[in-house]
C-alpha cells in the first residue's frame, strides 16, 4: 500500500512539475531507506525498547527526560555499531543473499559516508548517555567497542564469536537500570544474565536457517559449525539456563529487582514455550523448526520485559 501511494504521488509530481522533481523524490526516498538500513532501524528500536524496560525497572520515579535521552543515546550507539559492522564486512555482505543489497555492500553508499555516520553516531551516543550518568556512557562505549572490534572480526574465525557478541547484546536491558540508578549491582547483573543466555538459542536459530547464506560469507555461527544434534542440544541447554535466570528474582535474592509469584509463573510458562520449540528443532532438524524457535525467542524476550515492568507497577 505504501509503495502504491509513493508511486501515485511521484506520478502526480511528474505531471505537475516535471521529471526532475520525480528524480529528486526518488533519491530522497532511497537515501532514507539506506539510512534505515545502515543503522538497522528495527534492531536499534528493539534495543531501545530493552533499555527503556530496564530503566522502568530501576527507576523510583520515572523521568520522561531520561527516557528520551536513553532512547536517543541507545539508538545512536546501536546505529554506530551497525554502521561500523557494515563497513568492515562490506565485501562479505556482498556474497550473501540476505545482505548483498545493504547500502555499503551494494555500492549505493560510500565507505566514507558510512564512516562519517558511524563516527557521528558514536559521539552523539556517548555524549547523550553521559548526560544521564558516566556509568551509562561507559557501558554504551564498551558495547560498541566489543561489537565492532572483537565480535565482528571473530565471526569468520570461530563460532565462539557468538559468546563474545552476546556481551554487547546483553547490555541494553541492564543499561536502563544503570541509567536509572547510576549503579551496577546484582539487579542489572541479573538483567544482563537473562539477556545474555537468551541470545544463544536466538542467534543459533538464525544461524541454523541461514546456514547456507552465512556459509557464502564465511561465517560459521553454530557452536559445532554444523546443523547437527550437537548444536540442537546446546540450544536446549541455553534455553533452560535462560528460563532459570528469568525466575531468579522471585526468590528475593536479587536486591531491588523483584518478581511476584504470579509474574514468575507467567515468565516460566513463556520460557517453556521457547523450550518447546528448541526441543522441536532437536527432533526435526529443519530450517522451519529453526525459524519457529527464532520467532518464539523474539516473542519471549519482548513479553518477558513487559511482564517484568508491569509486575513492578502492579505489585
16-69 tens-digit pLDDT:
333 333 333 344 447 778 888 888 888 889 999 999 999 999 998 899 999 999
Give all strands (DSSP E) within 13-128, no chain letters: none
For residues 213-239, give the mean pLDDT. 92
d(CA 109, CA 117): 11
* The pLDDT of residue 243 is above 50: yes
Condensed to tens digits (0 to 9), the pLDDT of residues 160-206 reads 889 999 999 999 999 999 999 998 999 999 999 999 999 999 999 99
d(CA 119, CA 136): 19
- The secondary structure of residue 197, as a DSSP letter, is H
Measured between alpha carbons, how far is 86 from 91 in angstroms, rounded to an integer? 9
CB 86 within 8 A of CB 104: yes
pLDDT of residue 83: 93
Amino acid at each position: 500500500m505504501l509503495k502504491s501511494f509513493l508511486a501515485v504521488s511521484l506520478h502526480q509530481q511528474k505531471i505537475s512539475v516535471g521529471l526532475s522533481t520525480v528524480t529528486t523524490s526518488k533519491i530522497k526516498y532511497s537515501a532514507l531507506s539506506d539510512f534505515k538500513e545502515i543503522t538497522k532501524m528495527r534492531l536499534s528500536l528493539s534495543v531501545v525498547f530493552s533499555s527503556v524496560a530496564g530503566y522502568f525497572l530501576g527507576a523510583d520515579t520515572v523521568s520522561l527526560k531520561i527516557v528520551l535521552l536513553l532512547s536517543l543515546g541507545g539508538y545512536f550507539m546501536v546505529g554506530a555499531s551497525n554502521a561500523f559492522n557494515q563497513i568492515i564486512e562490506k565485501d562479505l555482505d556482498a556474497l550473501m543473499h540476505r545482505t548483498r543489497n545493504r547500502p555499503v555492500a551494494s555500492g549505493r553508499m560510500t565507505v566514507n559516508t558510512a564512516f562519517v555516520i558511524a563516527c557521528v553516531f558514536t559521539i552523539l551516543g556517548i555524549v547523550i548517555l553521559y548526560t544521564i550518568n558516566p556509568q551509562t556512557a561507559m557501558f554504551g562505549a564498551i558495547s560498541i567497542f566489543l561489537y565492532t572490534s572483537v565480535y565482528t572480526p571473530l565471526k569468520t574465525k570461530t563460532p565462539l564469536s557468538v559468546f563474545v557478541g552476546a556481551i554487547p547484546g546483553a547490555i541494553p536491558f541492564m543499561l536502563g537500570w544503570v541509567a536509572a540508578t547510576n549503579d551496577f549491582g546484582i539487579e542489572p547483573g541479573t538483567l544482563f544474565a537473562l539477556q545474555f543466555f537468551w541470545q544463544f538459542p536466538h542467534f543459533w536459530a538464525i544461524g541454523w536457517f541461514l546456514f547456507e547464506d552465512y556459509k557464502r560469507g564465511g561465517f560459521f555461527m553454530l557452536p559445532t559449525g554444523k546443523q547437527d544434534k550437537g548444536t540442537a542440544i546446546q540450544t536446549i541447554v541455553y534455553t533452560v539456563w535462560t528460563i532459570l535466570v528469568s525466575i531468579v528474582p522471585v526468590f528475593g535474592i536479587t536486591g531491588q529487582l523483584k518478581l511476584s509469584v504470579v509474574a514468575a509463573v507467567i515468565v516460566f510458562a513463556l520460557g517453556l514455550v521457547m523450550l518447546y520449540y528448541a526441543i522441536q528443532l532437536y527432533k526435526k532438524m529443519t530450517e522451519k523448526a529453526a525459524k519457529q524457535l527464532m520467532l518464539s525467542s523474539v516473542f519471549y524476550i519482548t513479553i518477558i520485559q513487559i511482564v517484568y515492568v508491569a509486575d513492578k507497577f502492579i505489585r
